[in-house]
């Protein structure tokens, strides 16, 4: 029997897919394209509301690989309990680094230089001059130093920042310098002018940015979140924003989407973008390259890339 592969991109739009597989297009529609029990390789639909991507998992008793097209895997984890042991969960490392890092730099520069204020002033026909903070000579702290965190640092370097400090789950050394463990975060926060969150959402990072974290940030510091909304305690952040002590630029929020009337919309010193770190013109060609590479590896029984976990282990 030919193994089914469920793709959220029409297979006739992807050059280089290996032969010998039955490709089914499914992008989260109500009706499944085939019997989920026959699916061997499942690519989770991208940028869909919570719950859509995990809907077929309880019926996928023969699936061998679950592939996300996002860097994060938190939206898929609740469905893994339905799967047999030995299923590999792979993420989209290599697809989103450039776009997410671009947005992180955009949010930093727009916030520091007051671009939202200029746009509002333009709407009023007002010439809004004055001095603004620069990124040059600032200390930046990156919390979550995986491939996206490293890509953010790559783009910070030409802006002549004074220092980049890096924090991850565990300590290690990179070509650019040391990566500090999370346990050293309290000592690093008071030195940072800009704190960038690019960490995955896990049980250890959920609510990481709480009242204590924010209180340790220096007066006037900028918090940038391109990770996941629940990494930040929204109530604690609102208290700091409303005091005017810090500012924030958020591509992700908790709740998300941010509902009309939520106080974050009107909080002083905050710039909100609607979770657009990944969906750019760079996404589709990179996603297609990833899928072609992974599926050729799958057919040829070669090691898959980006295996985040294997069920039952």
SS (H, E, C) the chain: CCEEEEECCCHHHCCCCCCCEEEEECCCCCCCCCCHHHEEEEECCCCCCCCCCCCCHHHCCCCCEEECCCCCCCCCHHHHHHCCCCCEEECCCCCCHHHHHHHHHHHHHHHHHCHHHHHHHHHHCCCCCCCCCCCCCCEEEEECCCHHHHHHHHHHHHHCCCEEEEEECCCEEECCEEEEEHHHHHHHHHHCCEEEECCCCCCCCCCCECHHHHHHCCCCCEEEECCCHHHECHHHHHHHHHHCCCEEEECCCCCCCCCCCCHHHHCCCEEECCCCCCCCCCHHHHHHHHHHHHHHHHHCCCCCCCEEEECCC
Residues 155, 177: Cα–Cα separation, whole Å = 16
Is residue 275 annotated as part of the catalytic site, yes or no? yes
Select which of 75, 96, 180, 275 is catalytic. Answer: 275
Distances from the Cα of 234 to the Cα of 73, 75, 149, 219, 221, angstroms: 22, 20, 22, 19, 17
Which residues participate in catalysis according to the annotation?
Answer: 275
């Amino acid at each position: 029997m030919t193994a089914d592969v469920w793709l959220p991109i029409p297979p006739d739009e992807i050059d280089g897919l290996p032969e010998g597989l039955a490709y089914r297009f499914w992008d989260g529609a109500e009706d499944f394209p085939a019997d989920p029990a026959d699916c061997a390789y499942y690519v989770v639909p991208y940028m869909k509301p919570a719950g859509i991507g995990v809907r077929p998992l309880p019926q996928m008793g023969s699936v061998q690989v679950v592939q996300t097209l996002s860097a994060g895997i938190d939206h898929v984890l609740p469905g893994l309990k339905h799967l047999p042991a030995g299923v590999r969960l792979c993420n989209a490392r290599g697809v989103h680094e450039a776009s997410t890092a671009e947005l992180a730099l955009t949010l930093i520069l727009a916030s520091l230089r007051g671009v939202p204020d200029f746009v509002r002033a333009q709407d009023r026909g007002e010439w809004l001059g004055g001095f603004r903070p620069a990124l040059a000579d600032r200390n930046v702290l990156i919390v979550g130093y995986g491939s996206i965190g490293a890509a953010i640092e790559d783009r910070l370097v030409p802006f002549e920042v004074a220092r980049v400090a890096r924090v991850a789950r565990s300590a290690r050394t990179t070509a650019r310098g040391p990566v500090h463990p999370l346990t050293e975060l309290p000592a690093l926060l008071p030195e940072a002018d800009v704190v960038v969150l690019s960490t995955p959402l896990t049980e250890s990072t959920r609510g990481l940015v709480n009242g204590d974290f924010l209180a340790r940030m220096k007066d006037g510091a900028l918090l940038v979140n391109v990770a996941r909304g629940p990494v930040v305690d929204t109530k604690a952040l609102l208290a700091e924003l409303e005091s005017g002590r810090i500012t924030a630029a958020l591509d992700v929020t908790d709740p998300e989407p941010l509902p009309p009337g939520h106080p974050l919309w009107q909080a002083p010193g905050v710039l909100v973008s609607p979770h657009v770190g990944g969906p750019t013109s760079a996404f589709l060609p990179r996603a297609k390259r990833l899928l072609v590479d992974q599926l050729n590896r799958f057919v040829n029984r070669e090691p898959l890339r980006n295996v985040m976990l294997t069920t039952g282990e």
